[in-house]
Structure 1
Amino acid sequence: MIASCLAQAMREMSTVHAEHDLAGQRFNIGTDGHRAELAYRREGEIMTITHTQVPDAIGGRGIAAVLVAAALDYARQSGLKVVPACSYADAYVRQHPQFQDLLA
């Protein structure tokens, strides 16, 4: 059961893509009629990830991870340092050492 849930999450992660709303300072993923988002605040060269929100109906598919990875990729490409104020983003960065250098 757990293996099949993990396999489904991995498939979902490879098929969903986050859209960046630069003006709104957020990343969004729409799937199955629901919208997940990661919000951030940019001040100078610092990007503070303030929250991630994934509706229960589409939870457990790795969507929050896709949102955080997209935000961190954007930060790296833009030369920004990151403050993961959101508990999920903080845990994600701690579990993925390739993003440690982005921490402010």
Structure 2
Amino acid sequence: MEIQHDSTENKGEFYIQKDGERIAEMTYSKAGENKIIIDHTEVFDSGRGKGYGKKLVKHGVEFARENNLKVLPLCSFAKSVIMNNDDLKDVL
């Protein structure tokens, strides 16, 4: 599954599609020059149980690292994934 990314000046999203249908998404807002706020993660019924939510969060962390950004995970799922993985906490 390829994770896709769209962004505007103030917001962005990572998402996974299968057969033209969106099956998972994670949205964020930009907070200044050096921070993103993950505000929502959702896996739709057709994608449940496959680990797509965690993949999106990990991809968001990689994006933050590559762009020298910090992450504020307001989404409870994203916060749980990051807080339960020591190798992801460096972006907090």
Q: TM-score band, normalised by the shorter chain?
A: 0.7 to 0.9
Which residue of the partner structure matches residue 43 of structure 1? 31
Cα displacement (A) at 1:100: 1.0
Amino acid of the residue matched to residue 50 of structure 2? R
| Structure 2 counterparts to residues 1-104 of structure 1, below 5 A | 16-23=1-8, 25-35=12-22, 36-44=24-32, 45-103=34-92
Name stretches of at least 5 consecutive residues in structure 2 with no aligned partner: none
Percent of aligned pairs sharing the same letter: 35
TM-score computed with the length of structure 2 as normaliser: 0.88
* TM-score, length of structure 1 as denominator length: 0.78
Which structure is larger by alpha-carbon Rg, 1 or 2?
Answer: 1
State how many pairs are aligned: 88
- Matches of 1:33 and 1:22 in 2, distance apart? 19
Q: Which runs of 4+ in 1 moved over 2 A?
A: none
User: Helix, strand or coil for the counterpart of 2:61?
Assistant: helix
Q: What secondary structure is seen at the aligned counterpart in 1 of 2:50? A: coil
Q: Which residue identity is paired with 2:13?
A: R
Structure 1 gaps, min length 5: 1-15
- Name the SS of the counterpart of 1:25 in structure 2: strand
2:36–2:69 CA contact under 8 A, matched in 1:
yes
Q: Which has the higher strand share?
A: 2
**SS at 1:60 equivalent:** coil
Aligned amino acid, residue 79 of structure 1? N
* CA deviation profile, 1:39-63 (whole Å, cap 9, x unmatched): 0001121110000111112101011
> RMSD over aligned Cα, in angstroms?
1.3
